[in-house]
Amino acid sequence: MSEAVATSHLRENPYELARTQLEHVGEVFGIEPNLIRVLSHCKKVVEVSIPFQRDDGTVGVFTGFRVTHNVARGPSKGGIRYHPDVTRDEVKALAMWMTWKCALMALPFGGAKGGVVCDPKSLSEKELERMTRRYTSEIINEIGPERDIPAPDVGTDSRVMAWIFDTYSMNKGHSVLGVVTGKPLSVGGSLGREEATARGSLYCIQALAGKRGQRVDEYTVAIQGFGNVGSNLARLLHAEGAKVVAVSDSRGGVYNPHGIDVPAAVEHKRETGSVVGLAGTDAITNEELVELPCDIFAPCALEQVVHAENADRVQASVICEGANGPVTPAADAILEDRGILVLPDVLANAGGVVVSYFEWVQGLQEYFWQEDEVNAKLRDIVARAFEETWQTRERYQTSLRMAAYGLAVQRVAEATTTRGLYP
C-alpha cells in the first residue's frame, strides 16, 4: 500500500486540521478549554487486519479502521469508505466532523467513521463481499443499533451495507435492521436515502438563493465528483433549471460553458464507467474544474481539493461542499478574504446522515414512510439548520463554517457538561 500513500490526495494531516478547527471554534465562541481538550480526542480507535480469499485462491490482507469520536448525544453514526488513501488520521478526522454534523442537524447521534485501505475497483464482486464480511466480523463488537451505526461513504454502496447487515444479523441470530443505514429497500432501506446527501445540498443552495434574492435557475454550476452525491446533485440542479457547465470523476472531467446534458452524462457514465468523452463537451482535468468560471462550485469527491495553492484562482462565488473537508483551513481564509461564500460540509452534505437517521428510526419501529414524507422531513431539518447557522454567522460576524461548527460544538459541549465525567 506504500504506492497509494505516496500519491495520496491528502496534502495535510486531516486530523490535525480538524483539531485546529476545533481550537479556533473554542476561541471564537468562548468554550471552556477543558471541554475543547475532551472533544479534540476520539473516544475509541480500532484497527483490524482483514484477511480474505481472492478468486485465484491466494489470500489478500487489508487494514481496516472503525473510529468513534463522541457519544455524548447518542450512539455514534458514520460511513465506511473503501479507498487506497485511507489512513487512521483521516478516519479520526471524519469521525470528528460527523459529530459536528449530527449535532448541527440536532440528531441524537455522535460521530464515527470507518475505512478499509483498498481499491474496491480492483476487486471482483465476490472478493469485495468476502472482504466486507470479514471486516464486519472484525468490528462486530464495535457496531450495533444502540452503539455505532455504519453507512455508505466513498467506495461503498447499498450492496456493501446489505452484506454488513447480513453478516451482523447472522451472528446475532435474527435480523437487526438498525445496525446499518443506506441498505437496499428490500432489506429495510429508506425511500429517499440514495439521493439524500445531494438533496440536502440542493436545499442549502435554495435557502442561500432565497437569502440573496436570487433563483436557482439563474446559477451556473461545476461539480467535481460524479458518484452518488455529484451525479444526483447534477440531476437535481438540472431539474431546477440550473446550468451544469462541468462535471468530473476520478478519470477526468468534461466542460461546456453553455450547459451539459446531465441525463446524457449520467447514461454515459453508466455505459462507460466515466463522464470522460461525453459528446458535446471539452475535456478538462479535475484541477482545471476547480478554477472554472461559475456561480457555484460543488466539490463532491475527496478532501483538500481547494488549498492554499489554488484558492486564489477559484472563480466561483459560492462553494457548496458535497464532500467532507474539500477546502483546507488555509484556503478558507483566502476564500473569506475574496468574498467567496463556503456552504460548509457539516451543513451542505448532512442530508445523508439525516435520512440515515430516518432509516434507523424506521428500522427500529419496523414502520416505513413514503418518499415525499422523507423529503419533507429532510427539507425541514436542513432549512432549520441553515437558518440557525446563518443567524449565528451574522451575530458573530464570522464565516458560515465557523458559525456551523460553533453551533455544533456548543451542543456537544453542553451534552458533555450535562452528563459529567465518569467516574
Could you tell me the CATH number of the domain that includes residue 326?
A: 3.40.50.720
pLDDT tens for each residue of 333-357: 999 999 999 999 999 999 999 999 9
Nearest-5° Cα angle at 118, 116 to 120: 105
- Name the residue type at position 35: L
Task: Residue 341: name the closest of 327, 362, 357 by CA.
Answer: 327
Instruction: Confirm whether 414 is domain-assigned.
Output: no
Which of these three, 348, 370, 403, is where a domain ends? Answer: 348
Q: b/e for 219-254, b at 16 or more Cβ within 10 A? A: bbbbbbbbbbbbbbbbbbbbeeebbbbbbbbeebbb
Is the distance from CB of 225 to CB of 300 less than 8 angstroms? yes
C-alpha 182/C-alpha 160 separation (Å) is 9
Can you read off the three cell numbers belonging to residue 248? 468530473
Task: Residue 135: name the closest of 121, 147, 118 by CA.
Answer: 118
Instruction: Confirm whether 150 is domain-assigned.
Output: yes
Beta-sheet pairing, 148-152 with 76-83: parallel
C-alpha 304/C-alpha 15 separation (Å) is 12
C-alpha 271/C-alpha 167 separation (Å) is 32
Can you read off the three cell numbers belonging to residue 149? 451505526
Instruction: Confirm whether 333 is domain-assigned.
Output: yes
Q: Tell me: do 341 and 250 sit in the same domain.
A: yes
C-alpha 384/C-alpha 408 separation (Å) is 13
Q: Tell me: do 171 and 207 sit in the same domain.
A: no
Would you state the pLDDT for residue 393? Answer: 97
Backbone angles phi, psi at 102, to 5 degrees: -65, -40
Backbone angles phi, psi at 322, to 5 degrees: -75, -25
Would you state the pLDDT for residue 302? Answer: 82
DSSP state of 324: S
Instruction: Confirm whether 283 is domain-assigned.
Output: yes
Query: What is the rounded average pLDDT for all residues in the chain?
Result: 96
Task: Residue 76: name the closest of 347, 356, 349, 323 by CA.
Answer: 356
5 or 337: which carries more pLDDT confidence?
337
Which of these three, 144, 175, 206, is where a domain ends? Answer: 175
Is the distance from CB of 4 to CB of 117 less than 8 angstroms? yes
Q: Tell me: do 164 and 201 sit in the same domain.
A: no
C-alpha 182/C-alpha 405 separation (Å) is 25
Q: Tell me: do 152 and 240 sit in the same domain.
A: no
Residue 34 is part of which domain span? 2-175
Would you state the pLDDT for residue 1? Answer: 36
Is the distance from CB of 102 to CB of 346 less than 8 angstroms? no
Q: Per-residue pLDDT for 412 more than 70?
A: yes
C-alpha 259/C-alpha 244 separation (Å) is 5
Q: Tell me: do 272 and 162 sit in the same domain.
A: no
Q: Tell me: do 124 and 159 sit in the same domain.
A: yes
| 3 state SS of 307 | coil
Q: Tell me: do 147 and 43 sit in the same domain.
A: yes
C-alpha 387/C-alpha 407 separation (Å) is 12
Q: Give the CATH number of the domain where residue 43 resides.
A: 3.40.50.10860
Q: Per-residue pLDDT for 269 more than 60?
A: yes
Longest dimension (CA), the chain: 65
Would you state the pLDDT for residue 7? Answer: 53
Q: Per-residue pLDDT for 52 more than 60?
A: yes
- Name the residue type at position 356: S
Beta-sheet pairing, 296-299 with 76-83: unpaired
C-alpha 84/C-alpha 208 separation (Å) is 36
Can you read off the three cell numbers belonging to residue 7? 500519491
Indicate which residues carry an active-site annotation. 113
Is the distance from CB of 258 to CB of 333 less than 8 angstroms? no
Mean pLDDT of 186-212: 97
Beta-sheet pairing, 148-152 with 110-117: unpaired
Q: Tell me: do 25 and 171 sit in the same domain.
A: yes
What is the count of structural domains for the chain? 2
Half-sphere exposure of 269 (CA within 13 A, CB side): 23
Instruction: Confirm whether 64 is domain-assigned.
Output: yes
Residue 6 confidence class, pLDDT cut points 50, 70, 90: very low
Q: Tell me: do 154 and 201 sit in the same domain.
A: no
Q: Tell me: do 122 and 201 sit in the same domain.
A: no
Beta-sheet pairing, 76-83 with 318-320: unpaired
Give the full edge-to-edge strand order of the sheet including 76-83.
44-53, 59-68, 110-117, 76-83, 148-152
Which of these three, 304, 331, 348, is where a domain ends? Answer: 348
pLDDT tens for each residue of 61-92: 999 999 999 999 999 999 999 999 999 999 99
pTM of structure? 0.94
pLDDT tens for each residue of 116-174: 999 999 999 999 999 999 999 999 999 999 999 999 998 999 999 999 999 999 999 99
Can you read off the three cell numbers belonging to residue 84? 487506497
C-alpha 326/C-alpha 346 separation (Å) is 12
Instruction: Confirm whether 143 is domain-assigned.
Output: yes
Helices (H), 82-156: 88-104, 125-138
Q: Tell me: do 154 and 207 sit in the same domain.
A: no
Would you state the pLDDT for residue 303? Answer: 85
Instruction: Confirm whether 155 is domain-assigned.
Output: yes
Is the distance from CB of 138 to CB of 48 less than 8 angstroms? yes
Instruction: Confirm whether 246 is domain-assigned.
Output: yes
The total of other beta-carbon atoms located within 10 Å of residue 361's CB is 15
Q: Tell me: do 165 and 63 sit in the same domain.
A: yes
- pLDDT above 70 as % of the chain: 98
